[in-house]
Amino acid sequence: MPEITPHISQSPPVIRQLDDAAINRIAAGEVVERPASAVKELVENAIDAGARRIRIDVADGGKTLIRVTDDGCGMSPEDLPLALSRHATSKIDGSDLLNIHTFGFRGEALPSLGAVGRLGITSRAEGHAAAMIEVSGSQVGAVKPAAGAQGTRVELRDIFYATPARLKFMRSDRAEMQAISDVVKRLAMAEPYVAFTLSDVSGGGEGRVKFRTEAESGDMFSALHGRLGQVMGRDFADNALAIDATREEIRLTGYAALPTYSRGSAVAQFFFVNDRPVRDKLLIGALRGAYSDFLSRDRHPAVALFVTCAPTLVDVNVHPAKSEVRFRDPAMVRGLIVSALKHALAEAGHRASSTVADAALGAMRPEFSEPRVYQMDRPGSGARHAAYQAQAPGFADMASDYSARVEATPVVDELDVEGLPLGAARGQVHENYIVAQTQNGMVIVDQHAAHERLVYERLKRQMSENGVRAQALLIPEIVSMSEGDCALLLEAAGDLAQLGLTLEPFGGGAVAVRETPAILGEVNAEAMLRDIVDELTDGGTTSTVKDKLEAVLSRVACHGSIRSGRRMRAEEMNALLREMEATPHSGQCNHGRPTYIELKLSDIERLFGRT
């Protein structure tokens, strides 16, 4: 019996013109994937309308109700039916699709929502009476008079009732509500001068407020800093570095957290292009490259970065959900992000995140706490000097029996620690931790981790000054690959040669490896080239060899640094502290762990109940 191919029809297919309802449902499948997609479209419309206060009410994870109310410009009664027509928009005139200054521009959101749910719009524009219109399953009703203040209220009920198959793919109410909250928070970060309120009104009534933020004031950086503190948390705001860099017509602003304030996943990475929240592989790759020298592979930086450029330099019309963009010069954007972040981290010097000290204070919990009976006055420097001298012999006697010891060195007065961020060394604990006194607290330094970073930075500086030594292969290694991969490698051959990797074309879809970096020793050239090709295909960069070189330097620095268990003299400890203060990135070791913990005197006194 002959087998029938399922994709070959026995009768010729008939071409039909789909009706408007089917066309809208198909378009809605691209624009509205879940309730969070509907919230995103409606809130973006409110922002485009110039709203200063936006309220979002959601019931049952958005499955039964999504209501967005704003105080924007509103719509006249005559505009309401037109707003429900496909590809009708006030954002653009259609003459230039690359000159887009608004969130929305396709004119698909409202008709798509009306095709899959029950949609009602009540709006009032200045100089006009309020009016409302309803649409259900693409069936548009008549415009009716209504009551309402200036602005627009959009209600979407029973989403996907017209396409019940989509309901099977919906997640739990909690998961859908979390997705909606994430969308609102991203848009709130993009618009710090707009107030947002997100409420869960499941069961009726006023509901529970899930997220609320008032409009910020001040300049751009202060407003953004305040908004990020509300959305990403005060810890991020306290440990983030301001970013402001420009290259030609592209500007990068925002905040990036210190390496010691890192996360276990990429949940705290937010990117915006012309204030539009995006998820872009180019931006993620650039961020990973900027922090690659400071974090281990299982840690992820926390950032909120804004790329601003002329609309003609970026194409936002590459995805129906407008979540992806394409830059005209992606290499320039990547280079700007990497250089700006590295420069900001270098300027941070030895600074470590405050959460390190908070974690240390959290671990120092007294077994019991009693009400304070009295509070002694803090002694002056003369009294402390006399007390230290009186106690010194006792500590000297204990040095032979305990690993915790204090060097027999003259006590340093307060004037000696003034102006020294890491203070003056007072002793060494367990032959690994340096205890230093600062002007208003104390510092505990991991001597091995700190010296490891200092040696690593020194080796990198030497490599950049003297170049990367290359070792010539006795017999060049021939690596066969596709012609496209060969073209990518040969196009980047100049950059690779600066890193000690010399390539030549060999013809027939192959390249010859003439030299490899000497510090890497014996390498698998084929595996390295394939890794480089993957990186060039993914992000357009050649940082694989550089990463390997820096990984080797990191291992060399680890083995060449001060080992745990070595006793250090007072002058050695102070020299280490001074070098840390002068060396960028010394606040964390090569693996992203903190090199020191700073405790303020007020925190220490609070631990002992001296408040």
Average pLDDT over residues 345-349: 81
CATH 3.30.230.10, the chain: domain bounds: 220-348
Instruction: Count other Cβ atoms within 10 Å, centred on residue 32.
Output: 27
Does pLDDT of 129 surpass 80? Answer: yes
Encoded tokens for 289: 């490259």
pLDDT at residue number 609: 73
pLDDT at residue number 39: 93
CATH 3.30.565.10, the chain: domain bounds: 20-213
Phi-psi region of 261 (alpha: psi -120 to 50; beta: other; left: phi over 0): beta
Encoded tokens for 78: 């005559």
How far is Cα 255 from Cα 242, in angstroms, rounded to an integer?
Answer: 5
How far is Cα 23 from Cα 108, in angstroms, rounded to an integer?
Answer: 11
CATH of domain 220-348: 3.30.230.10
Cβ neighbours for 595, distance < 8 A, ≥ 6 positions apart: 350, 352, 445, 446, 449, 450, 453, 580, 586, 587, 588, 589
Kindly indicate the confidence band of residue 64, based on its pLDDT and cuts at 50, 70 and 90: very high
The pLDDT > 90 percentage for the chain reads 23
Instruction: Count other Cβ atoms within 10 Å, centred on residue 143.
Output: 17
How far is Cα 213 from Cα 353, in angstroms, rounded to an integer?
Answer: 25
* DSSP structure string for 256-313: EE-TTS-BSSGGGEEEEETTEEE--HHHHHHHHHHHTTTS-TT-B--EEEEEE--GGG
- Which tens digits make up the pLDDT trace of 248-286? 889 999 999 988 888 888 889 999 999 888 888 889 888
* 3-state helix/strand/coil string of 330-362: HHHHHHHHHHHHHHHHHHCCCCCCHHHHHHHHH
Kindly indicate the confidence band of residue 26, based on its pLDDT and cuts at 50, 70 and 90: low
Cα 163 to its chain centre, rounded Å, is 36
Amino acid at 343: H
Does pLDDT of 371 surpass 60? Answer: no
More confident residue, 203 or 54: 54
How far is Cα 121 from Cα 562, in angstroms, rounded to an integer?
Answer: 69
Q: Which of 33-47, 148-162, 532-546, 565-579 comes out lowest in average pLDDT?
A: 532-546
Kindly indicate the confidence band of residue 368, based on its pLDDT and cuts at 50, 70 and 90: very low
Q: Which CATH superfamily is domain 392-611 in?
A: MutL, C-terminal domain, dimerisation subdomain (3.30.1540.20)
Q: Which CATH superfamily is domain 20-213 in?
A: Histidine kinase-like ATPase, C-terminal domain (3.30.565.10)
Amino acid at 326: R
What rounded mean pLDDT belongs to the chain? 79
CATH 3.30.1540.20, the chain: domain bounds: 392-611
How far is Cα 359 from Cα 595, in angstroms, rounded to an integer?
Answer: 14
Kindly indicate the confidence band of residue 194, based on its pLDDT and cuts at 50, 70 and 90: very high
